[in-house]
Amino acid sequence: MTALNRLLFPILAMAGSVLAAAPAHADLRLCNNSSGRVSVAIAYTDGQTWVSEGWWNLKSTACETLLRGNLAAQFYYIYAMDERGGEWKGKAYMCTRDREFRIEGRENCLVRGFDRTGFFEVDTGKDAKNWTVQLTDSSQAPR
């Protein structure tokens, strides 16, 4: 073993053990399995306030991480629209706007200058640490 290898080996071994001890992270992901490009918004609660965020633009067959880390809630809300006017929507109303956004609160959207948009609910289960939402063509989307 050369002097340089003797010097580097303990450092590399220690770095490997630190990396191995790091917890694995989970995410909330969305995959676009529709035939066209979609724009996606998400809404969730942090336990105290509602937050809505958008837009992620995904081409057909692409996936994107919407939230990084272990899931903190059981329910998340998604709204998506495609280039042809198709929508994936629901009855949980949140605030959005046409350009990139991060909005706190879901009440008085119009009064605050935002749009009021219906999101569909995603139930990830009580103990899920990660989840992937699969969008299919809007003719099969939640209504």
Name residue 101's amino acid. Answer: F
pLDDT in tens, 12-30: 333 333 333 334 457 899 9
CATH architecture of 24-140: Sandwich (2.60)
Domain ranges for the chain, please list them: 24-140
Q: What is the pLDDT of residues 44-85, one digit of tens each?
A: 998 889 999 999 999 999 999 999 888 888 899 999 999 888
* Contact between residue 39 and residue 55 where contact means Cβ atoms under 8 Å apart: yes
Q: For residue 86, how many C-alpha atoms fall within 13 Å in the half-sphere facing its CB?
A: 17
Q: What is the pTM of this model?
A: 0.76
